[in-house]
Amino acid sequence: MKIYNKYIAAISISLFLASCKAPMATVIQDEVKNNIPENFNQNEQQDANSNSGTTPWRQFFTDPNLVALIETSLKNNQELMITLQEIEIAKSGIAAKKGKLSPTVSAGLGAGVKKAGRYTSEGAGDATTEIEPGKEMPDPLGNFEAGLMANWEIDIWKKLRNEKDAAVAHYLSTVEGKNFVLSNLIEEVADNYYELLALDNQLDIIQQYIKLQTRALEISKIQKQAAAATELAVKKFEAELAKSKATEYTIRQQITEKENQINALCGRYPQPIVRTKESFMSTIPQTVYTGIPSQLLANRPDIKQAELELKAAKLDVEAARKEFYPTLEISATLGLEAFKPSYLVKMPESIAYNLVGELAGPLINKSAIKANFQTADAKQIQALYEYDKTILNAYLDISNLMSKVKNIDQYYQLKSQETQALDQSIDIANQLFKNSRADYLEVLLNQRDALDAKMELIEAKEKQLSTVVDIYKSLGGGWK
């Protein structure tokens, strides 16, 4: 009993000394998360009960053609498929870490032969030993064995459990990463869809402008014949008509590229994109409710992903720190062993077993363990900065987009007024030109200004709709 107590005391002292020498992880504080503002705009109060980020995307988007495109992209998009495989990889990582907590059991068969020197203690002993009366030990000596082997590291410091918990956190972060890819994918499909509708409407406008320029060219030729205009006016109208036709082909190319971009998001070869362009300019953007900034922590998948990666990094530091502690391993074997196969079935003589417990810890040359710990500690700090950056960027995104929504609405209203005024000025200029009371430059300038204003109005409508989609995604919407 005294010897047993001495062993216990020695083990306890060694474990205590080992734990005292283990370095401490850096203590990190999340100031960005703790100091997140109460509102996105300090001059306005937001309602915590109204948050568009929680609205399912099928309820947020009402255009059936757009909904069909989104559904196709969610089924076929390659980037999303790659992300799903990352989830499977992370799931396998959990199984691998969890398996270390249980004993490893294996079965084996073995055969060998050995000849000991005659003038050795082993050889001399074998020579004078009889297996049975009158039957000497064979020389050389064979060895045949079959049995089970088990090995188990006892998780006395929770190192293995920390590794498993870190793998679980990483797995959950990949799930949130998949949700973030979903949100981005839906945003990208919707933005490209609205850009395509804008190009369709711009093509209609340029085609109307070409007809207008064609009529103006005909009038200028008639006036030249009547000596009411010069050849210069005719050439100016011809040049403007050629420029407009060139612009038409540019827009057609942009439409083709935009359609293919949407098809790529849908994971399919080029095909026409079903859409209705006529109602584009009359589409009213949805009203978006932002809620309060703290809700971003629960709604945005990228923030939750960064938070889980930070948790995994902290657990990795703990696991790396406990590498400095002694490990307790138990190994055991149980089977049959004999120098001749026929003796394997003779029991209990052929039964062999072994049970060993080993407690071992690093004493000198810990550079590799220290390096692993320092790496894990640095990754923990890095994960904190990444988490803080994600929160800060999310807040700034919402703040910028809220301002953009208001300003783009005002911009759209003023562009509408400008377009109406220029449409009226075109009619007036054309009448004056027909009556030779205005020259061709006034007509051209009015037509160009009207064309530019209509193009910019269409772009403003596209920005209106896309900004609403962007703020919806920035609030954490799109993945539900």
CATH number of the domain residue 93 falls in: 1.20.1600.10
Domain that holds residue 395: 27-101+154-325+365-479
The one-letter amino acid code at 110 reads G
- Kindly provide the residue ranges of all beta strands, DSSP E only, lying in 157-278, ordered along the sequence: none
359 exposure class (CB count in 10 Å sphere: 0-12, 13-18, 19+) = middle
Domain presence at residue 88: yes
Domain presence at residue 75: yes
**Average pLDDT of the segment spanning 193-210:** 96
Domain presence at residue 19: no
Q: How many other CB atoms sit within 10 Å of the CB of residue 219?
A: 20
The one-letter amino acid code at 11 reads I
Give dist(CA 378, CA 374) in Å, integer. Answer: 6
**Average pLDDT of the segment spanning 400-405:** 93
Domain presence at residue 440: yes
pTM of the model: 0.85
Domain presence at residue 159: yes
The pLDDT-based confidence of 52 (bands split at 50, 70, 90) is very high
Domain presence at residue 215: yes
Domain presence at residue 4: no
- 217 pLDDT exceeds 70? yes
Number of domain units in the chain: 1
Rg over CA atoms, the chain: 39
The pLDDT-based confidence of 340 (bands split at 50, 70, 90) is confident
Domain presence at residue 2: no
Torsion, Cα of 130, 134, 139, 145 (10° steps): -60
- Residues in the chain, how many? 480
The pLDDT-based confidence of 223 (bands split at 50, 70, 90) is confident
Q: Say whether 113 sits in a helix, a strand or coil.
A: strand
Give dist(CA 133, CA 392) in Å, integer. Answer: 88
Q: Say whether 353 sits in a helix, a strand or coil.
A: strand
